[in-house]
Structure 1
Amino acid sequence: MDLKFQREAMLDQLKERGVDDLRVLAAMRTVPREAFVLENFRDDAYRDSALPLTHKQTISQPYIVALMAQALELKPTDHVLEIGTGSGYAAAVLAQLSREVYTVERVGDLAISAAEVIRKLGIQNVHIRFGDGTKGWPDEAPYDAISVAAGGTSVPNALFDQLAIGGRLVIPLGPVPESQKLLRIRKLAKDRYVEDDLGNVRFVPLLPDTD
């Protein structure tokens, strides 16, 4: 199959669904999603759906990756924290939009495979750590933006603390995966914030322990 053609078709779908940030669209065009999916799903790489990874994890659908990237309102100078590296695809997209991306993955095998794919693609501003994502990556804080690719019932305190004043945090929240909402939380002061509801989503759980 012509993956380049499929990638352009994906971009058309993203535009139809309201993704209009030109930098985000350019990043989605640049990063080859087929490099991050399992081999037997390569032909489905640009279908607008989540695809399975190992360890009962998934790679998010292109629309969700683009929606979250757009919601983060990234500038080329921004430092970004991502929780839930997964395949590494979203981190690679964020890397096109920011200065540095620090991403934490709780499954060691996924962290290793994501790092390998990102290295092969020559992306040098993504840093991957194996560990507990609910604790963030305090050594590199504060962050201009934080993207959380797993759902919970509340924002972990460590992540809000590591977000810079004026920073944006995008996270799915809800009591169960079936009733999550994607929220953008803008930090106005140490204990003040505003929320924007970006719609209904479904993500794997945000878990505190490591494998």
Structure 2
Amino acid sequence: MTEDGDTIAERKMRFLYALRSRGITDGRVLTAMERVDRGAFVKGLFAERAYEDTPLPIACGQTISQPSVVALMTQALSIQPRDRVLEVGTGSGYQAAVLAQLARRVYTIDRHRRLVREAEDIFRLLDLSNITAFTGDGSHGLPDQAPFDRILVTAAAEDPPGPLMAQLKVGGVMVVPVGQTDTVQTLIKVVRTDDGFEYEELRSVRFVPLVEGMASE
């Protein structure tokens, strides 16, 4: 039991109900969200709020996204079981863990060494052996592992990053927040076609900025 009398099971049930009420209808995505315990990725003072649909602070000045946004971005990717997925911005590792329920292989990259190290510890604890984490400049993607079936960017760029678009297979999908970082951004779905790229606006969001280069920690 928690301090307010709720059991963890009751909190998780409300958590899933909240996702459905916010337009998450893909059964595979809902199952993935149910399988991955967000509580494993939220530490310290904010652990009690792990099952709330809200972003929460993590180390290195970053955030763990609110679950409904994680689910929305995952649903927009339409991941298939054989897909290879690139995530730019590992953060807490929560989004990668959700992706790992749906894809054959997930590659995730972050500029903060500490975040990658801590996320890898959780991946091992949860036995998520199909995730490979890298420390590096995510704005350049992972050209050595490209091309990818799906790319998910969890930080806001002013435009869909060219290097990432180049690493997307024909028929592949990228989901990325686009816009100035001091204003509300727009979540964009990009589909690579034989002739170029198609764009679809999904909803307004707010993410930390996509920063080039490596962080100090």
Report what 2:28 is aligned to: 23
**Which TM-score applies when normalising by structure 1?**
0.97
CA RMSD of aligned residues (A): 0.9
Offset of residue 132 of structure 1 = 0.1
- State yes or no: 1:152 paired with 2:170: no
Matched residue of 1:27: which SS?
helix
Q: Quick one: structure 1 residues 7 and 55, their matched pair in 2 at CA, closer, same or farther if it must change by over 3 Å? A: same
Where structure 2 has 5 or more consecutive residues not aligned to the other structure, the ranges are none
1:33-72 equivalent positions in 2, closer than 5 A: 33-72=38-77
SS in 2 for 1:25: helix
Within the alignment, does 1:87 sit opposite 2:92 as a pair?
yes
Deviations 1:126-182 (A, max 9, x none): 000000001101111111100000001012211001000000000000123422000
Q: What is aligned with 1:208?
A: 212
Please tell me whether the aligned partners of residues 170 and 193 of structure 2 are also in contact (alpha carbons under 8 angstroms): yes
User: What is the distance in 1 between the residues matched to 2:182 and 2:11?
Assistant: 29
Determine if contact 1:177/1:203 at 8 Å carries over to the other structure. Answer: no
For 1:58-137, list aligned pairs within 5 A. 58-137=63-142
Letter matched to residue 53 of structure 1: I
How has the CA–CA distance of structure 1 residues 71 and 98 changed in structure 2, closer, same or farther, with 3 Å as cutoff? same
- 2:134 partner SS: strand
**Is the counterpart of residue 186 in structure 1 residue 191 in structure 2?**
yes
Unpaired runs of 5+ in structure 1?
A: none
Could you tell me which of 149, 166, 174 is aligned with 1:169?
A: 174
Counterpart AA for 2:71: A
Shift, 1:194, TM fit: 1.0
Deviation of 1:4 (Å): 2.4
TM-score norm. by structure 2 comes to 0.94
Q: Partners in 1 of 2:31 and 2:177 — Cα distance?
A: 25
Question: What is the CA–CA distance in structure 1 between the aligned matches of 2:14 and 2:43, rounded to whole Å?
Answer: 21
Residues in 2 aligned to 1:7 and 1:27: alpha-carbon distance in whole angstroms: 13
Alpha-carbon distance, 1:47 to partner:
0.3
- SS of corresponding position for 1:140: coil
Letter matched to residue 213 of structure 2: D
In the alignment, the residues of structure 2 paired with residue 154 and residue 177 of structure 1 have an alpha-carbon distance, to the nearest angstrom, of: 15
Aligned-residue offset at 1:7: 1.4
1:101-127 CA distance string (max 9 Å, x none): 000010010010000011111110000
